[in-house]
Amino acid sequence: MASLFKLVVTLLALLVVIGNTNAQLSTNFYTKSCPRLFSTVKSSMQSAISKEARMGASIVRLFFHDCFVNGCDGSLLLDDTSSFTGEKNAAPNRNSARGFDVIDNIKSAVEKACPGVVSCADVLAIAARDSVEILGGPTWNVKLGRRDARTASQAAANNSIPPPTSNLNRLISSFSSVGLSTKDLVALSGAHTIGQSRCVQFRPRIYNETNIDPSFAQTRQRNCPRATGSGDNNLAPLDLQTPTSFDNHYFKNLITKKGLLHSDQQLFNGGSTDSIVRTYSDNPNTFSSDFVSAMIKMGDISPLTGSNGEIRKNCRRRN
C-alpha cells in the first residue's frame, strides 16, 4: 500500500512538472505580476506610430516573421554576434525587417514597470495587436505567457517564411506547415492593407506580369526602374488607397488586379482563394473577425512556456 501511495505521489509530481513545461498561454497571465503592462506597451506603440505610421505594419510583420520560424519565441529579435548567428540576416529579413528599436524601447519601459517578468516574445505579440488597433483595425485579447528562445535559426528563417515570389500552392503549404488554414492565409495577408514594400520585391510583377491593371503598373514603374540595382529600395504602399488605415481595401485592390506583390495577386487569380477574397472585399466585419482569429492562432505556434527558454532582459541578446 505504501509503495502504491509513493507511486501516486510520484505520478502527481510528474504531472505538475509536465503541466509547468506545457503551460497554456492565457490572456490574464500578467494581471498580478505586471498590471501596467498593456498601458505601457500601448503608449510606446502610439508614440512610435505617431512618428511614423508605417511602423505599425513593420511591427505586425516582425510578429509574423518571428512566429513562422520555430514559433513565437522572440528568436527574430536576437542580434548576430561573433559566436551566434541569428535570423536578422536571413533573406526575408535582411535590409527589410525593421522596428527592432521600437521593441527595445517598449521592453525598456516594461522593464521599468516590472523588471524581469515579461518576455520579449510577449512584448512583440502585444505590440502587433496594438499596431492594428491604433491604425483603425480590430482589437483582441492577446494570449500571453511565452518565454524567449535562447537559440535562433537563420536556415529556418530562409526556409519557413514564404517569399513574395510565391505562388498560391506554396503559400498554402507554408501556412499549413505551421497549422494555419487557407482562410488564415488570406485573412493574415490582409495585413498588407498597411505598410510599404521595396521596389526589388515588386519589380518583376509590375514589368513582367499580365494579371495587373496597366495604369497601376505604370504608376508603380515611375518609382521603380526596370534595371536591377536601380532604385531597389524605393518604397510603394501595399494598399494604394489607404496605406495607413487598417481596412479591407487590400482585397478590393486584388479584385481590380492592383495587388502590389506577386504573392498578393495570387490570392485572386482564378484559384481556390478567390471566393474568400470576394467575401472580405464585400464584408469588412467578416475580414476583421477572421483576421483576429488567425492572429490568435498564429500567436499559438510553438510557444516556449513553463521553465523552457528565459525572460530576456535585453531583447537583442540572451541573458
**Cα 205 vs. chain centroid, distance in angstroms?**
24
The annotation status of 242 as a binding-site residue, yes or no, is: yes
The annotation status of 81 as a binding-site residue, yes or no, is: no
The annotation status of 214 as a binding-site residue, yes or no, is: no
Long-range (24+ apart) CB contacts under 8 A made by 19-25 are 19/306, 20/306, 20/307, 21/305, 21/306, 21/307, 21/308, 22/305, 22/306, 23/145, 23/305, 23/306, 24/145, 24/305, 25/143, 25/144, 25/145, 25/146, 25/299, 25/300, 25/303, 25/305
| Length, in residues, of the chain | 319
The annotation status of 259 as a binding-site residue, yes or no, is: no
- Let me know: does 303 contact 125? Beta carbons within 8 Å: no
The annotation status of 279 as a binding-site residue, yes or no, is: no
The annotation status of 193 as a binding-site residue, yes or no, is: yes
Indicate the burial class of 222 (C-beta count within 10 angstroms; 0-12, 13-18, 19 or more): exposed
Best CA proximity match to 262, nearest among 206, 182, 311: 206
Query: What is d(CA 69, CA 290) in angstroms, rounded to the nearest whole number?
Result: 22
Long-range (24+ apart) CB contacts under 8 A made by 205-209 are 205/259, 205/260, 205/261, 205/262, 205/265, 209/262, 209/265
The annotation status of 247 as a binding-site residue, yes or no, is: yes
The annotation status of 162 as a binding-site residue, yes or no, is: yes
Q: Pick the catalytic residue: 42, 54, 65, 146? A: 65
Q: Which residue has the cell 524605393?
A: 234
The annotation status of 102 as a binding-site residue, yes or no, is: no
The annotation status of 186 as a binding-site residue, yes or no, is: no
For the question of residue 249 being annotated catalytic, the response is no
Binding site for substrate: which residues? 162
Q: Which residues are catalytic?
A: 65
Binding site for heme b: which residues? 192
Binding site for Ca(2+): which residues? 66, 69, 71, 73, 75, 87, 193, 239, 242, 247
